[in-house]
């Protein structure tokens, strides 16, 4: 009986092979498979459980890491930051990203904070402007050659994939004002708006019910406050890593009702684009919602600061557009049978 073919992360596989400085033929021999078969695995990203186990053993990682798309990059990066005269060699770029977001979150509500990102092909430059002060980080991948020493390296497909995830964090969950490669993320004449998306989840399916866009932050604040007061049950809200807030608020038979709150803007074609919503502000909103539902807070949610509500009728939190879009949730079975 033919073994079932399982998907693996081919970008990670290529990255691991490059770290070992191995040609495909060498890796194939070490994994006890043919050269052509290994080429097909790197190309298609699929193979059997037995081969996955051999590959994982060869690269000294777990099979889960190879299958689960675990977003960890432990390759070497040369990182300079504004606090030291010389740079450091670090595993991955996570510490630098953490330092940037932590400093931005400390000052985003009290001062004029702006983030500028130069997303070059092989090096990344991130500058945080706080009033008149500049704080700059430079990140670049390196590799260790046993004969020569440290050398500048090119981003592998895997490293670029991991970096894109960190870039999303900087663009959409760090500060309100961002420019990338010299261009503002949001055009100067555009005012971002809040968007609420409504979903029902059940029977391994996500049923997208629609969305609602609010004209101003103040309008959204009042609408959300009224809506929260009308609810008899909510799960504690949670923050995603990329500038959005999620909350389960009800159950319909065996389906879970939830909302996702984010910020957006409309381009010239009418298409919605993501807008930054700093995680520090989202955390304040989450705390306010939790305190409100627990009876510890009765004043306005920290949204739309400085904007007064001038409307007569409070907009409803029901979706403006009802959709029948249904997404099947994947069923993942990570249990390997003994060969």
pLDDT, averaged across the chain: 86
When comparing pLDDT for 281 and 1, which is higher?
281
Please check the confidence at residue 127 and state whether its pLDDT lies above 70. yes
CATH number of 6-67: 1.10.260.40
Name the more confident of 25 and 71.
25
Query: CA Rg, the chain, in Å?
Result: 24
Higher pLDDT, 111 or 140: 140
pLDDT (0 to 100) of residue 1: 45
Spatial distance between the Cα atoms of 19 and 43, rounded to a whole number of angstroms? 18
Global confidence as pTM: 0.78
Query: DSSP characters for 10-30?
Result: HHHHHHHHHHTT--HHHHHHH
More confident residue, 107 or 67: 67
The helix or strand, by DSSP H or E, that contains position 126, with its residue range, turns out to be strand 124-130
Of the pLDDT bands very low, low, confident and very high (cuts 50, 70, 90), residue 205 is: confident
pLDDT band at 140 (very low <50, low <70, confident <90, very high): very high
CATH 1.10.260.40 in the chain, residue ranges: 6-67
- 335 or 88, greater pLDDT: 88
């Amino acid at each position: 009986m033919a073994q079932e073919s399982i998907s693996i992360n081919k970008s990670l596989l290529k990255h691991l092979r490059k770290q070992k400085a191995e040609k495909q033929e060498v890796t194939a021999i070490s994994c006890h498979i043919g050269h052509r078969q290994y080429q097909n695995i790197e190309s298609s990203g699929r193979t059997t459980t037995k081969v996955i186990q051999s590959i994982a053993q060869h690269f000294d990682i777990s099979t889960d890491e190879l299958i689960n798309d675990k977003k960890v990059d432990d390759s070497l990066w040369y990182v300079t930051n504004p606090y030291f005269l010389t740079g450091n060699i670090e595993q991955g770029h996570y510490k630098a990203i953490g330092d940037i977001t932590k400093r931005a979150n400390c000052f985003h509500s009290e001062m004029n904070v702006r983030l500028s990102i130069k997303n070059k092909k092989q090096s990344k430059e991130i500058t945080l402007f706080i009033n008149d002060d500049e704080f700059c980080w430079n990140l670049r991948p390196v590799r260790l050659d046993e004969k020569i020493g440290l050398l500048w390296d090119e981003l592998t497909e895997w490293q670029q994939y991991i970096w894109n995830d960190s870039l999303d964090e900087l663009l959409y969950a760090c500060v309100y004002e961002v420019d990338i490669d010299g261009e503002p993320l949001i055009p100067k004449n555009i005012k971002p708006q809040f968007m609420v998306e409504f979903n029902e989840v059940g029977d391994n399916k996500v049923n997208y019910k629609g969305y609602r866009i609010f004209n101003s932050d103040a309008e959204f604040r009042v609408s959300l406050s009224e809506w929260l007061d009308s609810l008899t049950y909510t799960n504690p809200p949670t923050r995603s890593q990329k500038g959005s807030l999620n909350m389960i608020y009800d159950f319909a038979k065996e389906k879970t009702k939830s909302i996702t709150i984010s910020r957006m803007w409309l381009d010239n074609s009418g298409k919605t684009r993501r807008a930054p919503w700093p995680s520090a502000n989202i955390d304040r909103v989450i705390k306010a919602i939790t305190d409100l539902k627990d009876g510890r807070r009765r004043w306005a949610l920290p949204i739309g600061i400085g904007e007064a509500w001038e409307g007569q009728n409070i907009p409803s939190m029901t979706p403006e557009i009802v959709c029948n879009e249904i997404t099947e949730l994947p069923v993942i079975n990570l249990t390997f049978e003994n060969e």
